[in-house]
């Protein structure tokens, strides 16, 4: 019995070796397509060569006011722009599906208020419905400011708490690097695949390829509504605290 079992094991082993020897390591090499060369900047804050510049420091030509589609009225100065409270949300002229986005923002050093009323803005990863609709990555002073965890800086508002709080002090520039995969809908409006997002805050991973449960809702649960390619939107929150600023915004379509 032992002999038979040994013979069969030995035969199997020999066959495995023969099989491995008949294969070539080249069998599993893939040579095409060849990834396009994109010269990466030395400074990681500089846009890669194939990025679309959404704000390069001079003007808001790539942005419009959401409510009436007029030119964006936020204030440009010193290579950045600041929310002009009361003029409303602004969004990109161009619509996007899947992308990599870099955006920098600064809570003013003289910030006042507390909770959600302290430097509140937001990056809507897809602006839907022409108003407040979409998926909000929260912008807020969360350096030393208590609020609900799923509403602090880096949260997907009222859906996902950031993995850590990587906030810098008011007065210091902060960055979000975002990889957004848009939701896909069936003909009847049902969700084929939900939106996914990965976010780095100041270079620290805070959202790791999470699947959103729907559009941001202030009251009630998130719900998906069918949409196609959508602009990126920035929030004029309307609270009385000093306005926040943005700079160096670029996007790479994927
Ligand atoms: Mg907000």
The mean per-residue pLDDT over the stretch 206-231 comes to: 97
For residue 10, being part of any structural domain is answered with no
Residue 198 CA to ligand 1 center (angstroms) comes to: 18
For residue 188, being part of any structural domain is answered with yes
For residue 183, being part of any structural domain is answered with yes
pLDDT at 28: 87
Residue 195 CA to ligand 1 center (angstroms) comes to: 19
Residue 171 CA to ligand 1 center (angstroms) comes to: 18
- Domain enclosing residue 108, as ranges: 36-41+48-253
SS (H, E, C) the chain: CHHHHHHHHHHHHHHHHHHHHHCCHHHHCCCCCCCCCCCCCCCCCCCCCCCEEEECCCCCCCEEECCCCCECCCEEECCEEECCCCCCCEEECCCECCEEEEEEEECCCCCCCCHHHCCCEEEEEEEECCCCEEEEEEECCCCCCCCCHHHCCCCECCCECCCCCCCCCCCCEEEEEEEEECCEECCCCCEEECCEEEEEECCEEEEEEEECCCECCCCCCCECCCCCCECCEECCCCCCCCCCEEEEEEEEEC
pLDDT in tens, 90-101: 999 999 999 999
Least confident of 12-21, 47-56, 105-114: 12-21
Report the CATH number that the domain containing residue 101 is assigned in CATH: 2.60.120.560
For residue 22, being part of any structural domain is answered with no
The mean per-residue pLDDT over the stretch 38-46 comes to: 74
Residue 120 CA to ligand 1 center (angstroms) comes to: 5
Q: 21 falls in which pLDDT band (50, 70, 90)?
A: low
- The total of structural domains in the chain comes to 1
Residue 19 CA to ligand 1 center (angstroms) comes to: 59
Mean residue pLDDT across the chain: 92
For residue 208, being part of any structural domain is answered with yes
For residue 158, being part of any structural domain is answered with yes
């Amino acid at each position: 019995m032992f002999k038979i079992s040994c013979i069969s094991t030995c035969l199997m082993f020999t066959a495995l070796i023969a099989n491995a020897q008949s294969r070539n390591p080249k069998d599993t090499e893939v040579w095409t397509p060849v990834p396009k060369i994109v010269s990466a900047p030395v400074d990681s804050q500089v846009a890669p060569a194939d990025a679309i510049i959404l704000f390069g420091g001079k003007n808001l030509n790539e942005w419009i006011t959401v409510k009436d589609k007029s030119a964006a009225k936020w204030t440009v100065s010193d290579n950045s722009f600041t929310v002009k409270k009361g003029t409303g949300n602004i969004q990109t002229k161009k619509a996007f599906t899947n992308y990599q986005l870099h955006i920098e923002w600064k809570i003013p050093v003289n910030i006042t208020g507390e909770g959600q009323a302290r430097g509140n803005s937001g990056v809507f990863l897809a602006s839907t419905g022409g108003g407040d609709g979409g998926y909000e990555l929260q912008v807020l002073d969360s350096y030393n400011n208590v609020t609900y965890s799923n509403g602090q800086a880096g949260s997907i508002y009222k859906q996902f708490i950031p993995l850590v709080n990587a906030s810098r002090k008011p007065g210091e520039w902060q960055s979000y690097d975002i990889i957004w995969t848009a939701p896909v809908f069936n003909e009847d409006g049902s969700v084929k695949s939900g939106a996914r997002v990965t976010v780095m805050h100041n270079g620290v991973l805070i959202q790791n390829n999470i699947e959103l449960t729907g559009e941001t809702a202030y009251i009630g649960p998130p719900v998906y509504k069918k949409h196609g390619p959508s602009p990126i939107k920035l929030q004029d929150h309307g609270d009385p605290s000093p306005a926040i600023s943005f700079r160096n915004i670029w996007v790479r379509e994927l």
